[in-house]
Amino acid sequence: MGKGTPEHPVAVRAAGPRDLDALVALSLACARSRQEWAGADWSAPALVTERRLWWDRLSDSRSWVAVAEAGPTRVGCIAVWTRPQHAQRAYMVGPLVDPEWWGEGIGTALYTQAMSVLGSRGYRRAELAVEAGNGPAREFLERRGWEQAESLPARSAMAVLTYARELAGPAPGAAAA
């Protein structure tokens, strides 16, 4: 399992409300994969919490959420949003990829699409939080020019790091898309 096939190539598309259950399932599958390195005191987020977070992202007009599909199966997701007080700063979650599909280029496809959206919307900076023990995610980001910006207070028994990347946005004074 896990390979895209000619009959079911992997494609990235904008997500909508009908994708909510798949987004939550993907997020929780990725969370459960952390158990090995997260420590005995850690537990995966609650279903209701994840559902609320993804619904808020899907419902917010400032957000962009995408899914990667292999035929009818959603195998990855990513989200980008902003806050009114930081209109030139984007926040990201993901790419999140079903562990059975790791190594298939899905994270890269989602990331590439998200970076395109960030550029088209004129963001100047992007940030995301990564658990300190998540070596593969940290390596993925560092290979793409992200730098650790700060260490956040531990949540759920894990240290969390903020990674940031300056983006080539519009010239100072230009309106964002």
Tokens linked to 167: 């983006």
**Domain span at 138:** 10-166
Q: Residue 109 carries which side chain, given as an amino acid letter?
A: A
- Residue 40: Cβ within 10 Å count: 7
Burial grade of 156 (CB within 10 A; 0-12, 13-18, 19 or more): middle
Residue 176 within a domain: no
pLDDT (0 to 100) of residue 115: 93
Residue 94 within a domain: yes
Domain count, the chain: 1
The β-bridge partners of 14 are 66
Residue 78 within a domain: yes
Residue 147 within a domain: yes
Nearest by Cα to 102 from 51, 26, 7, 15: 26
Higher pLDDT, 5 or 171: 5
- Packing angle between helix 20-33 and helix 47-59, nearest 10 degrees? 130
pLDDT at 7 over 60: no
Report pTM: 0.82
pLDDT at 116 over 50: yes
**pLDDT-derived band of residue 152, with 50, 70 and 90 as boundaries?**
low
The angle formed by the CA atoms of residues 167, 170 and 173, to the nearest 5 degrees, is 125
Residues 145-164 have a mean pLDDT of: 74
**What is the percentage of the chain residues whose pLDDT exceeds 70?**
81
Tell me how far apart the alpha carbons of residues 14 and 143 are, in angstroms, rounded to a whole number.
25
Q: Residue 30 carries which side chain, given as an amino acid letter?
A: C
pLDDT tens digits for 53-88? Answer: 999 999 999 899 999 999 889 999 999 998 878 778
CATH number at residue 70: 3.40.630.30
